[in-house]
Amino acid sequence: MALFSITTRAVGETLTAAKYNSDRNEIVAGIAPDTIPSTESDISHSNVTADPGETGSESLAANITGDIAHLKFIIEEMKGVTWRTSNATRQAQGDFVIPTANGTWVDAATTIAFYRFHVPQGWVTGTNILLHFLRRSSSASGTSRMTVQVLRARDGASISTLASEDIDFTPGDTNSHLTSIIATGGSLAVGDFVNIQITRLGSDVSDTNNGGAVAPDGHYFEWTGKASR
C-alpha cells in the first residue's frame, strides 16, 4: 500500500476545483517510487527469490513482490552466487605448453612447461591467483627434481620474477597428484599476464626417477572475481 490516505468527502459536499486538484495531487504524490513501501520487511523477506520458470513452463508472479523475487533469482543465476554476494571464486583453463614430443617432463634432460593466464577484468585487486595442476610419474620410484618460477609480464615493462621454489615430485606411485602454485596478487594488475614455468631438472644428480616421465594430467587457474563477471 502506498504511503498516503484518501481524503474522505462528506455526502453533499461541494466539489471545487481546489478540492479536486488536491485529491488528485495526493494520489500522484503517494504513488511516487520513493513513497511505496519496500517488500523487504526483514532479512528473511529480503532474501526471498522465486524461479520464474522457462519458456513454455512459466511461473507467473501474483504481484510486484513476486516480480522482484523473480528478478533476484535471475541475478543469482547470472552471478553464480547469492544475489547479495559481491565476489566469487572463478576458474579458467589458461594456456599450457610443454615442448616435448610426448607432452611430458622427461628424465635425463631439462624440460620446461609453461602455464599462462591473463589477469581478467573483474579480478579483485590484491587477491592471489592460483594454478592447480595434476602431475603423474610413469615410475613409482625415485624423485623427479622440479622447480617453479612465477613470472609477471606487463605491457611496456620487463619480465618480473614473483616467486621461485623447488617442487620436487616423489609420489611413490603412478597416480595423479594435485599441486597448487600461488601468484601473489599484490604484485599483479588487471591486464598482466601470469607465466608459471615448471622445470624438471632431469639431468640433475638429485633426479633419481630414472626412466620415469612426469605427465601433466590437467590444470586450471583460480581467482577471486566480481560476482557479476
Residue 1: pLDDT band with limits 50, 70, 90: very low
Q: Provide the pLDDT for residue 215.
A: 97
Per residue in 20-34, pLDDT (tens digit) is 888 788 777 767 777
User: What distances in angstroms separate CA 73 from CA 77, 195, 226, one per listed residue?
Assistant: 6, 38, 18
Q: Where are the beta strands (DSSP E) in 93-192?
A: 95-97, 110-118, 129-137, 146-153, 160-166, 177-183
Residue 104: pLDDT band with limits 50, 70, 90: very high
Task: Report the percentage of the chain scoring pLDDT > 70.
Answer: 95
Task: Report the percentage of the chain scoring pLDDT > 90.
Answer: 61
Q: Provide the pLDDT for residue 79.
A: 75
Handedness of CA 147, 153, 159, 162 (dihedral sign): negative
SS3 category, 62: coil
> What pTM value is reported for the model?
0.73
Q: Which residues fall within 8 angstroms of residue 81, CB to CB, at 6 or more apart?
A: 88, 227
Q: Kindly tell me the burial class for residue 34, based on how many C-beta atoms sit within 10 Å of its own C-beta (0-12, 13-18, 19 or more).
A: exposed
Q: Which amino acid is at 141?
A: S
Other C-beta atoms closer than 10 Å to the C-beta of 174 total: 12
Quick one: the chain helix, strand, coil %, rounded to 5?
15, 35, 50
Q: Which residues fall within 8 angstroms of residue 40, CB to CB, at 6 or more apart?
A: 46
Q: Provide the pLDDT for residue 221.
A: 97
Could you give the domains of the chain? 17-79 (no CATH), 89-226 (2.60.120)
**Mean of the pLDDT values across residues 79-102?**
87
**Among the listed ranges 1-10, 134-143, 182-191, which one has the minimum average pLDDT value?**
1-10
Q: Provide the pLDDT for residue 6.
A: 72
Question: How far is residue 190's CA from residue 158's CA, in Å, rounded to a whole number?
Answer: 17
